[in-house]
Amino acid sequence: MSASESSGSVVRRILLGSQLRRLRESRGITREAAGYSIRASESKISRMELGRVSFKARDVEDLLTLYGVNDARERDALLALAREANVAGWWHSYGDVLPGWFQTYVGLESAASLIRTYEVQFVHGLLQTEAYAHAVVSRGMPGAPAADVERRVALRQERQKLLVAERAPELHCVLDEAALRRPYGDRAVMRGQLQHLIDMSERPNVRLQVMPFHFGGHAGESGAFTMLRFPESDLSDLVYLEQLTSALYLDKPDEVAQYERVMGCLQADSPSPEDSRDLLRGLLQLN
């Protein structure tokens, strides 16, 4: 199984779910009636249409029959999509330390063609060194078994392979200066992290900017967020907002547009990637 196959499974679930919803609505069939046809609840249909559960071939076949999809080619294409959507991603092997709600994000992140993010508390996970990640995870999980900490750090390192893959996505990251000045680990850890940011910022697919303290108040007042764009034209941009025990995924055009505006302002108001790299070098000299 290739990385693209495993990462694409989450996207395919969402695509299949959206097509099933479109077919149901075009026939004027309620979720309750659709659920009855496959011996399931209305909430199960809702989860299927949102791409939050795996698909049984029999359920998809029964729904397609209910929705009047009789063309063999159309049925075969949707059933093939269902099979592809059930492929387990590499991150499932970390299920012992990975919350279910974050598994969805890792899959979406792996399938994105453009990742735009703003961070204020610490360096974004895709750009963390192993030592820095260990310090962040340890601080966030006080008293956790050392094995769990190591597993979470290993997961973070595995995610980072995305940026050096053959079809690596673009990463546009704005880091608040607070994330760079807040120490995680000792001076050696912070120096290593700053140097890593300098090195990564020189990659052609990475655009790294720093929002400096001296700018004052800025558009990112609501806190950290991540925006994901996918190569599939049928899939809209998503905004990911992480919380302590769950996450929000926003895809309504008007909500996504507001975050687009904020990200645009953050990028416009922050020093250029070249100037931000100089700022990082200055911070490195201070550590």
pLDDT exceeds 60 at position 1: no
Q: So what's the pLDDT on residue 8?
A: 54
pLDDT, tens digit, 9 for 90 and up, residues 270-283 = 999 999 999 999 99
Residue 249 burial (CB < 10 Å; 0-12/13-18/19+)? middle
**pLDDT > 90 fraction of the chain, expressed in percent and rounded:** 71
Q: Which residue has the higher pLDDT, 80 or 263?
A: 263
Structure letter (DSSP) for residue 223: -
Q: What is the full DSSP assignment across 265-277?
A: HHHHHSPPHHHHH
**Which region among 74-88, 176-190, 218-232 has the lowest average model confidence (pLDDT)?**
74-88
Average pLDDT, the chain: 91
Residues 225-247, mean pLDDT to the nearest whole number: 88
Name the one residue in this structure whose structure tokens are 């599939």.
Answer: 232
Name the CA dihedral angle for 232, 235, 237, 241, rounded to a multiple of 10 degrees.
-120
Q: So what's the pLDDT on residue 2?
A: 34
Whether 192 and 131 have beta carbons less than 8 Å apart is answered as yes
What is the helix (H) or strand (E) element at residue 176, kind and residue range?
strand 170-176
**What angle, rounded to 10 degrees, do the helices at 57-66 and 3-26 form?**
30
pLDDT exceeds 60 at position 111: yes
Q: So what's the pLDDT on residue 7?
A: 47
Residues 102-118, mean pLDDT to the nearest whole number: 90
Where in the chain are the domains?
A: 3-85, 90-286
Token pair listed for 276: 């931000």
Whether 92 and 106 have beta carbons less than 8 Å apart is answered as no
Q: So what's the pLDDT on residue 92?
A: 75
pLDDT exceeds 50 at position 5: no
What fold, for 90-286? Endonuclease; Chain A (3.30.870)
Superfamily of domain 3-85: lambda repressor-like DNA-binding domains (1.10.260.40)
Residues 93-109, mean pLDDT to the nearest whole number: 83
Q: Which residue has the higher pLDDT, 285 or 107?
A: 285
Whether 211 and 270 have beta carbons less than 8 Å apart is answered as yes
pLDDT exceeds 80 at position 101: no
